[in-house]
Structures are given as C-alpha cells and as structure tokens.
Amino acid sequence: MKQETEEKIQIKHILVFTLMNEQFGLDISCVREVLKPLEIHHLPQVPDFIEGVINLRGKMFAIMDLRKKFRINIIENTPKKRIILCKVNKFIIGLIVDSVMEVLSLSEEDIQPTPNAISIQVENNYITGIARINERVITIFNLEEILSKKEMDILEQVKKKD
C-alpha cells in the first residue's frame, strides 16, 4: 500500500538559484551545466538582457542576464555568480544568476499555483508555481515561456551567426 502512494506522488527536481537574495527554481531536466563566469563576447543590436555569447569547448552559446530580463538592479560580478546552461525551446542558452544553491526534490504538493493577481501581471506565463519549504519561498520558472516570440527570433539570428 505504501509503495502505491509513493508512486502516485510526482517528484520534481528543481535547481535553486538566487537573484537579489530571492530564490528561484528551474526544472533540472532543462539544465545542461553550471559554469563559473566566462568571457562574454558582446553582440550589436540584441536586446539589452542578452549579454552576448560565450565560447565553450568550441561552441557558441547566447548568454542572458536574468537581472536585466526581469528589470532587477544590476550588480557587479560577485564570487558566487554563475552561468546556468539550459535548454530553452530549441536553443541552449546561458542564464546569468547571482548564485546556485542546490537541487531540491519537491512533490507536487510542495508547489502552489501562481496566484491569479500575479499571473495576470506576468507576461508569457513563465512562472509555473511557488514552492514553500518551511520558511523559504521559491518562485519556479518555466523556461519554455520566458522568451517572447520576438526574442526567440533574435536568438535564432544569433545562432545563425555562430
């Protein structure tokens, strides 16, 4: 009987990272690698939240600063700053975050839906839920929805240049 109950509970593995002392999460299935900051080669005529590209083992990847994307105060480099390489739709893109904390295993019960008042204000529905673990609150992103169609088209052009 206990085994049946455990099988019905879906577990999600979430990579927890920070931006301005707030905790956010991504489904670990989209994460390819976590890197220390690398040299970023800037590109002209891209949205301001696209920092440029990095060369990693002979491949070029676009880098997006999540602080700029979400209009959060920009800070200089910190020792814990990381780039999370993630699969977003058909691209692998790097996300600049303040730090990477851990991977959490959460049940569906741990993740609450986004309140209606917030989901109406958030374009593209990129917030999939909010996890509350004891006193911690973790906003969980759906990277498939984080970029608009126009932004995806721009990334397509960047990809063609590499």
The per-residue pLDDT string of the chain (162 residues; one tens digit each, 9 = 90 and over) reads 455 555 567 888 999 999 988 999 999 999 999 999 999 999 888 888 889 999 999 999 999 998 888 888 776 667 899 999 999 888 899 999 999 999 999 988 888 887 765 544 445 478 888 998 888 999 998 888 877 777 777 777 766 655
Beta carbons of 126 and 114 less than 8 angstroms apart = no
Query: What pLDDT score does 61 carry?
Result: 93
Residue 161: what pLDDT? 57
CB 51 within 8 A of CB 63: yes
Farthest-apart Cα atoms in the chain, separation: 60
> Distance from CA of residue 95 to its chain's centroid?
6
Q: pTM above 0.75?
A: yes
Map tokens 């780039």 to a residue: 83
Structural domain spans, the chain: 11-161
What DSSP element (H or E) covers 129?
Answer: strand 127-133
pLDDT at 82 (0 to 100): 95
- Angle ∠(128,31,60) on CA atoms, nearest 5: 120
Which fold does the domain 11-161 belong to in CATH?
OB fold (Dihydrolipoamide Acetyltransferase, E2P) (2.40.50)
DSSP type of residue 78: -
pLDDT at 108: 81
